[in-house]
Every structure is written in C-alpha cells, then in structure tokens.
Amino acid sequence: MTTDVTIIGAGLGGLTLARVLHLNGIPVTVHEAEPSPAARAQGGMLDIHEDTGQPALAAAGLTEEFRGLVLAGRQAVRVLDTDGTVLFDKADDGTGGRPEVQRGELRQILLDSLPAGTVRWGRKAAGVRALGGGRNEVTFADGSTLVTGLLVGADGAWSRVRPLLSDATPEYTGKSVVETYLFDAPVRHPAAAAAVGGGSMMALAPGREIFAHRERDDTLHAYLGLAEPLDWFDAVDFTDPAAAAARIAKEFDGWAPQLTELITGADSAPVLRPLYALPAGHRWERVPGVTLLGDAAHLLPPNGEGANLAMLDGAELGGALAAHPGDPEAALTAYEAALFPRSARAATLGGPDAHGTDPDSGTIHDLVAAFTGDE
C-alpha cells in the first residue's frame, strides 16, 4: 500500500491501528494533541473483553505483553445496598473472560511497540477540509498543515475529523460522574477499602450511584454518579475541592459512611465528568479518504465497551487496509460495513459494567439480577 495513512489521536484505538499497520509494513503517522506520553493521567482500570479487546491485542501481536499487565484478583465484583449490606459478592477465581489492566499501562505497551517518531506529540488538530480526490487537509493549532490520502479520526468525543463525514455532535446524557481517588486504602481508608473489596464495587439508588475499583498499589478509584442536568453541576464550585466534595456527599445522605468516604475521604480533588453520547446507530455515507474509529465514531455512555470497541475498530481497520493494499476505498467500505452494526449493538448494552445512573429504571435488585442471571 502506497497511500499515506494519517491518524489523529493517540488513544488506544488509534495506537492499535498504528501497530497493525506497522506489522503489515504500511507507513503511518499519528498526531496527538498532548505534548508527551506523560502529559496527563490516562484513566483507571479497564476490563479487556475476550470478544473485542483481546482479539484486537492479538492482532497487534501484544497478547503476551497484555497478559503481563493483568492485575490478579481484580475481576472480583460486589454489589452493596446503600446501607452497606453486601447483596452480591463474587471472587475472582481466574476463569473470567475480562481481565483488568491499568489503562495507562496498556497505552504504554502500544506506544512501545511502534517505531520511534510514529507518534508526533503536541500536534493538536484545529480543523480539517476536503480537497477532493480523496485528499484531505489537516490544520494544526500551531498553524501548520498537512495533506493526506487517508485520514483516520481517532480523536475522541469532540473529533475534529468527524465533520468531514457527519454533522452529528455528542449530546449530554443527563448523567455525570464525580471522580475521586483514595491512596494506600487499606492503611489510610480501611472502611472504604473493606467495602470495595478486591475488585470492583457498585451501589445505587434512583438517580445516584457509587462505582469503585481497587487499582494497583491499593488505590481506590471511585465514580459517584448523579442524574442531574448540567446547570445543577454549574452550581457546585469544583475550584474549591472541600466544598465540592461536601456538596456531592450531601446527595448521598443516609448512605453508609464506608461508601460516602469515597468522596468525603478522597485524597484527590473531585473531578466532574459529564457523560455525553452520539446518537445510537450513528453512521455516515462513504466519503473518499477518511473514516473514524472509537469515540469519534460511536461515543457511548460508559458501559464497559468503549475502549474495547476502539481497539477492535483499530485492529479491523488495519486488517482491512492490509487486505486491500491497492484499494483503500474498498478497505474503508469493508471496515465500515462491520463497524456500523457492531457499534449499534454496543449502544444497546447496559449491564453490570455500566457507569452512570438511570433515573427512570434500574434498581439495586436489577443490578444483582444482571450478575446472577435471575429474572
């Protein structure tokens, strides 16, 4: 294949694509807005699914490296009532198909698998325009431009590439989460550590949810979900961490103290994460020389599928380009034919991996039933 491939975004999906292209001898460059690989934390735990993320990593030739990152015991899961009563508790017996890894560590093995210079850091895409004939121009924030014969938008929710294909924009789902961390939890936060257990813990009530993971080094990473409009959160002063934590904790009055400690005892400032989504079944007509993957293509409310789908998108797009070396348009057509129904199916999934709360449905008993398989 002689067409140059330009990827915008060095997340898991874009890097998986770059790795598969590299394995197939296809030149590729990734442009990333962040100034360096260590510019920011890369999020928390990811469960890598046996039908999506794991095959993607196998296609990237990184299964062994991935296995080396797996945190033993983290597939344990428990569901607590708001009073702290344990309603469901399943240990990690090693037979689960969704081993847990740290997102930043997974990203690093992908970065390490690419030749030096593949990722260009500090290259924030500011806009794109079609030039015709399958060529597209990218303008970066520093004023520089490039023209490419094959452009892939792997640049997330607020993709700069998406407007070449679609006028869809993410919409607020009506839910947000407030993110916190508690460090050295068994020593400094023993009650919260005991509540979370060895893997993940969930507790919910209508419009409210607490979801937490035990990460590497006994860090507890929590998400407190609230189904409220954006202007409700505008009234919370997140520039004052103590005041913000107290305001969010107030919404969980009456919950067990070992649960509310995940906000009141946090060792990090609470961070607001509004949840957005693209329309379910988002798709576009084939446009020469450009496509999307991951959140740029199918942004979902967090349901355990996003990162896995992004990696699978990258692996399948890379495989399609390798299978059609003289005809990139045939490759993009084949890729999108599988992408659209797959992402539409994923948009219907909620299940026990979902973050965020549904004010109209979903009780603690529904959550337990999701794990036990009971009606």
Annotated binding site, which residues? 40, 47, 103, 295
- Torsion angle (degrees, nearest 10) of CA 81, 85, 87, 89: 120
**Burial track 33-60 (b if 16+ CB lie within 10 A, e otherwise):** bbeebeeeebbbbbbbbeebbbbbbebb
Contact 53, 354 (CB under 8 A): no
Closest CA to 105 of 268, 219, 216: 216
- Rounded to whole angstroms, the Cα distance separating 307 from 201 reads 20
Binding site as annotated, residues for FAD: 47, 103, 295
Residue 12, Cβ neighbours under 10 Å: how many?
A: 28
Count Cα neighbours of 210 within 13 Å in the Cβ-side half-sphere: 32
Contact 16, 52 (CB under 8 A): no
- Rounded to whole angstroms, the Cα distance separating 150 from 7 reads 9
Binding site as annotated, residues for NADPH: 40
Closest CA to 208 of 166, 244, 175: 175
DSSP letter, residue 162: G
